[in-house]
Amino acid sequence: MIEILVGSQMGAAEYVAEQVAETLVQAGYDVTTHLKPELNQLNQHAIWLVITSTYGAGDLPDNIQPFADQLAQDQGDLTTLSYAVITLGDSSYDTFCLAGAKI
């Protein structure tokens, strides 16, 4: 089971997430995509794949910021969580892909 958590302001990360999800499903994986992820709705035994763009001055997109806030406040044990992060950004900015580091 793979949970794809999408942070997209203008649609690019959402497009990438759709393509990744399609590829994973074709490879036989069970995939759920979350456009507005909520910590309490995610399977902590699944693999989490965060796909997010970087917005503004290295910020997370509006739709995934509440999830990042939940992660920062949660006191639960996520040490056994398997996850990966794919971040999109413009390398001409000093804050290139900073959103991925923040999440």
Residue 56 confidence (pLDDT): 87
Phi, psi for residue 30 in degrees, rounded to 5 = -90, 120
Domain boundaries, the chain: 40-103
Q: How far is CA 24 from CA 4, 27, 30, 91, in A?
A: 11, 5, 8, 27
pTM: 0.93
Instruction: Per-residue pLDDT tens, the chain, 103 aa: give them.
Output: 999 999 999 999 999 999 999 999 999 999 999 999 999 999 999 999 999 999 888 999 999 999 999 999 987 788 889 999 999 999 999 999 999 999 8
Question: Distance between CA atoms of 98 and 94, rounded to whole angstroms?
Answer: 9
Q: Is 40-103 assigned to CATH 3.60.20.10?
A: no
